[in-house]
Structure 1
Amino acid sequence: MMQAISTKLPIVSGCYMNSSSGIARTFVASQALREKHECQVLIVGGGSGGCALAAKLSSKLGKHKVTVVEPAEQHYYQPMFTLIGGGMKRLEQSYRPMAEVLPKNINWIKSEAVEFDPKNNTVKTANGTNIKYDMLLLATGLQLNYEKIPGLVEALSIPNGKVCSNYSPKYVDRTYACLQNIQEGNAIFTFPASPVKCPGAPQKIVYIAEHYFRKLGKRNKITVTYNTSLPVIFGVKHYADALWKVVEKRDIKVNLLRNLIEVRPNEDVAVFQNLDKPEEIFEEKFAMLHVTPPMSTPTVLAQCKELVNAAGFVDVDKSTLQHLRYKNVFAIGDCSASPNSKTAASAAAQSPVVYRNMLAQLKGKELKSIYDGYASCPLVTGYHSCILAEFDYDLKPLETFPFAQNKERYSMFFLKKALMPTLYWKVMLNGHWNGPALMRKVLSVLKFEKKVNA
């Protein structure tokens, strides 16, 4: 491995990680710095949106026209982490080698982006490659900031400990161990004061855990509490009303506007702040604590003020997903500033919009494809039930099936557990799944015809 060298080396203008941010490897040996790479389309990020667009664009533009920058060896199907935490799936079922999910006809630079220079259409990677692009797609996803909560990383490092988190492959197996180990006391679950990927996931594990405790006959000894920083249990009232009925029926305590600010693992104490009255601090003893960490866009991206808004998200038009200032820059998925719920289903619905608009921009044509904010959240409520929430920018239901989806159903659980992973690996990552919009139209037509003929 090449040794990192001083930041006294000359650097080009742009946004970069410096040594004060703890990433000294931004600047590597001079030979690597001179390496050049040019491409028609550069995609930064190999998650669900990045892979889907890499497949679509490389198929259209041809071999080696698309370059993907992604350092990871493995690609995770993150929606499965909830089921892993509940003991319904295994971690090894949730990932594939990155080399298998990226298209074969692209260039893969197995490194991380460390500098963005949109004025000069370049990106620099940690291995020193300077990439010149005609068009840039940002698909970086979100980073997990466990270290932002004092004591949390320490708590998660304790072998066979009482603190767990479904959000990282590093910690997800701890959740099922915690479910097994707790015999009595407080089981506390959290939602942080930050945007998160899959906003329904922090409460899915609440319902799964409560069901697990009932199955093992220890529910009457365990108090189940969901502390969320949000002012509502769920952002879409149509489904929130149904979820309040679930928590009331199952005696789950919900505290709104309550944010985790510290964990004291030696005392088994979680410290919360009342966001409505910040001076109010609550210390709660736990026998199990499931933490959803604060999240943000990757630091290197958030530091590039030319590309992001004040919150650190890529500053795009919410309809076209094109950058507001740099017309050859687009974003997809969680790193985008579009105000939709950040889920894999959102990325799927965005993918045809971004694809068509990127091609139009390459040809100098008007961007006509529009994203309506569609998002889907399969709210697993136990070991055989699920509420399938689907909605748009206006937080109005945008449901696919011809029945009420704000009810707990086994069919929706089966869809989540058995069908969606196959759809993801076999169809979405290959660029062939654009969300259920077409299916929704077909089913609505059939439903209308049935009513007419009745």
Structure 2
Amino acid sequence: MTPLAAVVSGPRVRLFACLLRLGCQQAKPLQLHTGASLAAKNHYEVLVLGGGSGGITMAARMKRKVGAENVAIVEPSERHFYQPIWTLVGAGAKPLASSGRPTASVIPSGVEWIKARVVDLNPDKNCIHTDNDKEISYKYLIIALGIQLDYEKTGKRSKANIIFNTSLGAIFGVKKYADALQEIIRERNLTVNYKQNLVEVRADKQEAVFENLDKPGETQVISYDMLHVTPPMSPPDVLKTSPVADAAGWVDVDKDTLQHKRYPNVFGIGDCTNLPTSKTAAAVAAQSGILDRTISLIMKNQTPVKKYDGYTSCPLVTGYNRVILAEFDYNAQPLETFPFDQSKERLSMYLMKADMMPFLYWNVMLRGYWGGPAFLRKLFHLGRS
């Protein structure tokens, strides 16, 4: 018989205990930091670059591992945003104010907040430099700098003609969900144009200029009443030419362990890495659990064994009360949590996107207690992952 102590211990039980403490009401933000410390050190056992989803989550996990006084976060922004909710903000379904909180309120208690911008990385000397002329050294470095938007590179429903132009060759990268979206496109009489890259916006004329990627140099001008733009994206400039970057500028990590390929005490998480999966908060959550285990073993001079499978999730909002919850892995194969067909539009998935996921993010993930739904998937699928 399994000892009771073995049954009631472990990270999953701690997660549920955390949820029980929170109860049914959303916990208030932790008002634990009022600003960067005036007595910041210049060396930390774990230094985290970036105060977004990955950075805050990993700082919370590392605090429990090495102690808060040995962890620091380098982040210049005063506010932290839950970006996945912006799709609903743009549609008027959620207020913009609900998406952000003061950065000070989400930094784990006792962890040093270095309110500065990283301007240089020197992994050969185990140090970084900030825009306030500080040099900070580390034993272990976690890079979670996110992604930058390169805006400078682009220059009533029944009566509306909705056109969706994408530079990609398909509506979605996973066939199961692409087929479901194609059916919705047909039902709603939407126009979709593939291999169309936005190259210029003429705001004064309300015109958008697209280049045909199959015929370089050929452009099309489309007039609009409302334009929703996804700008070009790239790694942060500080990473592009740094020693930790690959040829394209992304942090060059092992796709299984998230450990850097050349610097064994450097790790990456989230949008700034070259992991071949969709860049989402759900992916960061799953990566955080793997990276936590990786660093634990590295600290013990052991070889990481737990592998990240590329899990990511894209809640596809198809209406004001319907969502297709796409979940998939490195191979673009569905990796669904629930024991029903998630390619169907569902109210339950909308409620999860609009209400449950934000609660989980602010109150569980950022506190380092959520490593993705893999254990729920096994539970719902009777042990099969």
TM-score by length of 1: 0.75
1:89 paired residue number: 94
2:203 paired residue number: 265
Q: Deviations over 1:139-191 (max 9, x none)?
A: 000011111112xxxxxxxxxxxxxxxxxxxxxxxxxxxxxxxxxxxxxxxxx
1:416 paired residue number: 353
Structure 2 residue 247 is matched with structure 1 residue 242: no
Q: Which is worse superposed, 434-443 or 351-360?
A: 351-360
1:79 paired residue number: 84
Q: Deviations over 1:115-150 (max 9, x none)?
A: 111110100111122101011100000011111112
Structure 2 residue 279 is matched with structure 1 residue 342: yes
2:132 paired residue number: 127
1:400 paired residue number: 337
1:438 paired residue number: 375
Q: Deviations over 1:90-130 (max 9, x none)?
A: 11111111111111121110111011111101001111221
2:236 paired residue number: 298
Q: Deviations over 1:273-323 (max 9, x none)?
A: 01111121111111111111111111111121x111121110111111111
Provide the C-alpha distance between the structure 1 equivalents of 2:199 and 2:101, rounded to a whole number of angstroms.
35
Provide the C-alpha distance between the structure 1 equivalents of 2:227 and 2:275, rounded to a whole number of angstroms.
32
Provide the C-alpha distance between the structure 1 equivalents of 2:322 and 2:114, rounded to a whole number of angstroms.
42
2:151 paired residue number: 146
1:359 paired residue number: 296
State the 1:407 CA deviation.
0.5
Provide the C-alpha distance between the structure 2 equivalents of 1:332 and 1:43, rounded to a whole number of angstroms.
10
State the 1:64 CA deviation.
1.0
2:115 paired residue number: 110
1:326 paired residue number: 263
Structure 2 residue 70 is matched with structure 1 residue 65: yes
Letter in 2 for 1:91: L
Letter in 2 for 1:297: P
Equivalent residues of 2:43, 2:137 under 8 A apart: yes
Provide the C-alpha distance between the structure 1 equivalents of 2:262 and 2:93, rounded to a whole number of angstroms.
45
Structure 2 residue 366 is matched with structure 1 residue 429: yes
Equivalent residues of 2:289, 2:372 under 8 A apart: no
2:316 paired residue number: 379
Provide the C-alpha distance between the structure 2 equivalents of 1:269 and 1:94, rounded to a whole number of angstroms.
30
Provide the C-alpha distance between the structure 2 equivalents of 1:430 and 1:229, rounded to a whole number of angstroms.
37
Letter in 2 for 1:389: A
The alignment yields a C-alpha RMSD, in angstroms, of 1.4
State the 1:447 CA deviation.
9.6
Q: Secondary structure at the match of 2:248?
A: coil
Structure 2 residue 323 is matched with structure 1 residue 391: no
Match of 1:43 among 48, 53, 59: 48
Aligned length: 346
Equivalent residues of 1:36, 1:129 under 8 A apart: no
Structure 2 residue 215 is matched with structure 1 residue 277: yes
1:223 paired residue number: 161
Match of 1:314 among 247, 251, 261: 251
Provide the C-alpha distance between the structure 2 equivalents of 1:296 and 1:412, rounded to a whole number of angstroms.
30
Q: Secondary structure at the match of 2:245?
A: coil
Equivalent residues of 1:116, 1:123 under 8 A apart: yes
Q: Secondary structure at the match of 1:119?
A: coil
State the 1:446 CA deviation.
8.0
Provide the C-alpha distance between the structure 1 equivalents of 2:303 and 2:254, rounded to a whole number of angstroms.
14
Provide the C-alpha distance between the structure 1 equivalents of 2:204 and 2:350, rounded to a whole number of angstroms.
38
Letter in 1 for 2:192: V
Equivalent residues of 1:402, 1:447 under 8 A apart: no
Equivalent residues of 2:378, 2:384 under 8 A apart: no
Letter in 2 for 1:393: Y
Equivalent residues of 1:36, 1:130 under 8 A apart: no
Q: Secondary structure at the match of 2:352?
A: helix
Q: Structure 2, unaligned stretches of length 5 or more? A: 1-39
Letter in 2 for 1:125: T
How many percent identity over aligned positions? 52
TM-score by length of 2: 0.88
Provide the C-alpha distance between the structure 2 equivalents of 1:36 and 1:447, rounded to a whole number of angstroms.
47
Q: Secondary structure at the match of 1:401?
A: coil
Letter in 2 for 1:275: L
Q: Which runs of 4+ in 1 moved over 2 A?
A: 218-221
Provide the C-alpha distance between the structure 1 equivalents of 2:269 and 2:89, rounded to a whole number of angstroms.
26
Q: 1:447 to 1:397 in 2, by over 3 A?
A: closer
State the 1:440 CA deviation.
0.5
Q: Secondary structure at the match of 2:379?
A: helix
State the 1:326 CA deviation.
0.6
Letter in 2 for 1:136: L
State the 1:243 CA deviation.
0.3
Provide the C-alpha distance between the structure 1 equivalents of 2:218 and 2:47, rounded to a whole number of angstroms.
48
